[in-house]
A = this chain, B = another copy of it.
Amino acid sequence: MSVGTYKIIELVGSSAVSWEDAAKNAVATASKTLRDLRIAEVKELDLKIEEGKVVAYRARLHLSFKYMEKE
């Protein structure tokens, strides 16, 4: 008997402030259309640099949510 299937997608969030904020931005965007988000695993963190300064923190996430058959 199945107890539910989850799908995992990979998103990259971005922020001028911190990696926590970058991750939160990606989750906020995803939660507008995806239901039952559970966990986001961090796969990579990086920094974008311009003119010798850090301009963005980026977090690559694996985000799991309830799989919808129509998807």
Residues of A within 8 A of B (CB): 1-20, 23-33, 37-42, 44-49, 52-54, 56-57, 60-62, 64, 67, 69-71
Determine which of B26, B33, B54 lies in contact with A23 in the assembled complex, contact meaning CB atoms within 8 Å.
Answer: B54
Q: Which of B14, B42, B49, B64 contacts A2 (CB 8 A)?
A: B14
Q: Is the interface of A mostly helix, strand, loop or mixed?
A: strand
In the complex, are the beta carbons of A37 and B19 less than 8 A apart? no
Interchain nearest-CB distance for A56 vs B (Å): 6
Known: A42-B46, A44-B41, A47-B27. A67 touches B11 (CB 8 A): yes
A14 to chain B, nearest CB (A): 4
CB pair A17–B5 under 8 Å, yes or no, is: no
